[in-house]
Amino acid sequence: MAAGRDLFGLSAHAKARLIEKLAPAAGRLAAGVPRRPRVEASLETGRLDVRQLDGWRDVHMIEEAADYLGIADPFFRVHDGVAAAETPIDGRFYLNFASYNYLGLNGDPRITAAAKAAIDRYGTSVSASRPVSGERPIHRDLECALARLHGAEDSITLVGGHATNVTVIGHLLGRHDLIVHDALIHNSIAQGALLSGARRVPFRHLDAAAADRALAEARARHANALLVIEGHYSMDGDVPDLAAFVAVARRHRAWLMVDDAHALGVLGPRGFGSADHAGIDPNEVDIWMGTLSKSLVSCGGYIAGRKDLIAYLKRTAPGFVFSVGMAPAAAAAALAAIDILEREPERVRRLNQRARLFLELARAKGLEVGGSIGAAIVPVITGSSIAAGRLAEALFRRGINVQPILYPAVAERAARLRFFLTAEHSEEQVRKAVEIVVEEARAVAAEPADLAAVARHLAGLSARPG
């Protein structure tokens, strides 16, 4: 990962641009203070010093700005128990909208029993990569179940969802190839594309015609082509016209890959994901990707598709061949969750009912919810990163746990709070939450931040020596 990255998921330079956008005077004053030169090591100790990395001062500038505005750090809060519709934080229960526990299965006794049984039989680790000596029956059982959900011939499971996209895309494509992807694609897909060395061409969000034009322009000059979309976008809660993208991929002899991480357990009458929702043959999609950490309340990632693809990945994908096999408890938990998903489709219906209720109430109250379809994910767009941070803080004081998404993760005008609904949220909880959001959003709007004061505060910090 690049230097200066990973604080709150944003780079230090990105945070500096955020401050410059919110308070231009602060940006100009701070820019007038020369940076310390990068050095190989501390002269005193002979060791590398993280404080010499580009962006260190910018990181602290953001922290100081938030502190000055009275915005507490909303990240890395310690939950003292199961994060469900409610979650315990620091001895208090909060109404929770910051969890991917869509079907409400986290902590289900049937799943914890399956995980415990797997530990009793196999231990806590398989202790090696699966090709070497880490293969267990539970791995194949899970892969067969995942393939069944996606109507695929087979699947492969890996220990991390992000790593699945990185290693598979990075391995399948090369420098003579082409990757065409939605402009709002997940970071893991972008990182996999960078690793591959293939030419990357983004297209406007959800625009199949734009993807068609991109492939028409570039396809002939490349050996292989991959068209990548998500089945349910976690930032906006919207979905693509899957049939249209299938047609585009076929027209240009491109593989179609769909990341269904936030679609499985959410979309379709059975909760089987994008194909179930769109009513198309799932075999029209060449590569299904998903994660086990959301509706399946475990940890890991997977690829589903044709047998020859899966066999190839099992022999050659670096993130599989050179990584330890999935922990037995994680595999068993996901497998038990699949069984419940198949047996209890009412969970999917209840989830979507709650999400649609939240969406409809929010819209009726004048909140900006973007293009969400009301299937587990509903953003509340504030139009300002400071407003998003202040609103999240106000809601936390009122007993609601929800996370802000700030520029440059989204455009500044699209800064937001993301509400993740679960099948375990009650109608009363949803109605209560929307009422509180409306009240606090009005209060935040009525007391805009004094950006000039923020600028003076940051300028004073920047002028300090050292």
User: How high is the pLDDT of residue 35?
Assistant: 44
262 is catalytic: yes
Q: What are 157's strand-pairing partners?
A: 302
Q: Checking DSSP bridges between strand 416-420 and strand 225-230, what pairing results, if any?
A: unpaired
155 is catalytic: no
Annotated active-site residue in 294, 295, 323, 462: 294
Which residues, including other chains, have CB under 8 Å from residue 377's CB and lie 6 or more apart?
Answer: 232, 233, 234, 236, 237, 262, 355, 418, 419, 420, 421
User: How high is the pLDDT of residue 452?
Assistant: 64
DSSP 8-state secondary structure symbol assigned to residue 325: P
User: How high is the pLDDT of residue 58?
Assistant: 60
Angle at 170 between CA 166 and CA 173, to 5 degrees: 145
User: How high is the pLDDT of residue 31?
Assistant: 42
Q: Where are the domains of the chain?
A: 12-69, 86-99+345-448, 109-343
CA nearest to 105, candidates 354, 337, 264 = 337
Annotated active-site residue in 150, 186, 262, 277: 262
What is the amino acid identity at position 90?
D
User: How high is the pLDDT of residue 145?
Assistant: 98
User: How high is the pLDDT of residue 43?
Assistant: 58
234 is catalytic: yes
What is the CATH T-level fold of the domain 109-343, as seen in this structure?
Answer: Aspartate Aminotransferase; domain 2 (3.40.640)
Class of domain 86-99+345-448 (CATH, top level): alpha beta
What's this model's pTM, rounded to 2 decimal places? 0.87
Determine the distance from the C-alpha atom of residue 427 to the mean position of all C-alpha atoms in its chain, rounded to a whole number: 26
Q: Can you tell me the distance from the alpha carbon of 407 to that of 390, in angstroms, rounded to the nearest whole number? A: 14
Which residues, including other chains, have CB under 8 Å from residue 305's CB and lie 6 or more apart?
Answer: 152, 153, 154, 155, 285, 286, 287, 288
pLDDT tens-place values along the chain, 466 residues long: 333 333 333 444 554 454 454 443 333 333 443 444 444 455 566 777 877 776 676 666 667 767 777 777 777 889 999 999 999 999 999 999 999 999 999 999 999 999 999 999 999 999 999 999 999 999 999 999 999 999 999 999 999 999 999 999 999 999 999 999 999 999 999 999 999 999 999 999 999 999 999 999 999 999 999 999 999 999 999 999 999 999 999 999 999 999 999 999 999 999 999 999 999 999 999 999 999 999 999 999 999 999 999 999 999 999 999 999 999 999 999 999 999 999 999 999 999 999 999 999 999 999 999 999 999 999 999 988 889 989 999 999 999 999 998 877 788 889 999 999 999 999 999 999 999 999 999 999 888 766 666 666 666 666 565 5
Which residues, including other chains, have CB under 8 Å from residue 432's CB and lie 6 or more apart?
Answer: 95
CA nearest to 396, candidates 79, 96, 104 = 96
Annotated active-site residue in 99, 155, 188, 234: 234
User: How high is the pLDDT of residue 419?
Assistant: 98
H helical segments located in 98-241: 109-122, 137-149, 161-172, 187-196, 208-218
User: How high is the pLDDT of residue 6?
Assistant: 36
Annotate 227-292 with DSSP letters as a single string: EEEESS-TTT-----HHHHHHHHHHTT-EEEEE-TTTTTTSSTTS--HHHHHT--GGG-SEEEEES
